[in-house]
Amino acid sequence: MKPIEDLTFPEDLLYAQDHEWIRMENGSAVIGISDYAQDQLGDIVYVELPSVGQTFAKGEAFGTVESVKAVSELYMPIGGEVSAVNESLGDSPEKVNQDPYQDGWMIQITPQDPSEKDALMAKDAYLEMLKGLS
């Protein structure tokens, strides 16, 4: 596992305590897991994601990530309806390890209540939380 200083955390994202990130784009939200989460998991071998049209509440599990070490639940940082799924992760789950923010995104949603994002952390707050975990 890498030191936190060697991991990447883009400024334009918001982060959840469960290590998911969210990027707001034109009224929708793209969701994935942070560089810290993929680093902790190790080599990702399988990603299970929901179908387009499914709706999840904030905090509800929407899928799983399986690595050589463990299986981890994925949790919704905000509630919404799934509008797109990164189908390429079915054949290439390692994209999450290679680039969790671009090629390794997981789902896109239409938020039910966009103000739920206000409870998420900016990069600096997320880094402070991570430092408290180590």
In a domain, 62, yes or no: yes
Q: Is residue 45 one of the residues assigned to a domain?
A: yes
Please report whether residue 134 resides in a domain: no
Residue 96 belongs to a domain: yes
Range of the structural domain that residue 66 is part of: 13-112
- What does the pLDDT look like over 25-57, one tens digit per residue? 999 999 999 999 999 999 999 999 999 999 999
- Domain membership of residue 101 (yes or no) is yes
* Residue range 55-96, pLDDT digits in tens: 999 999 999 999 998 999 999 999 999 999 999 999 999 999
Kindly report, residue by residue over 8-30, the tens digit of the pLDDT: 999 999 999 999 999 999 999 99
Total domain count for the chain? 1
4 within some domain: no
Q: Round to whole Å and give the CA distance between 110 and 25.
A: 10
* Residue 49's CATH number: 2.40.50.100
Nearest Cα to 61, choosing from 47, 84, 43, 77?
77
pTM (2 d.p.): 0.96
Is 99 domain-assigned?
Answer: yes
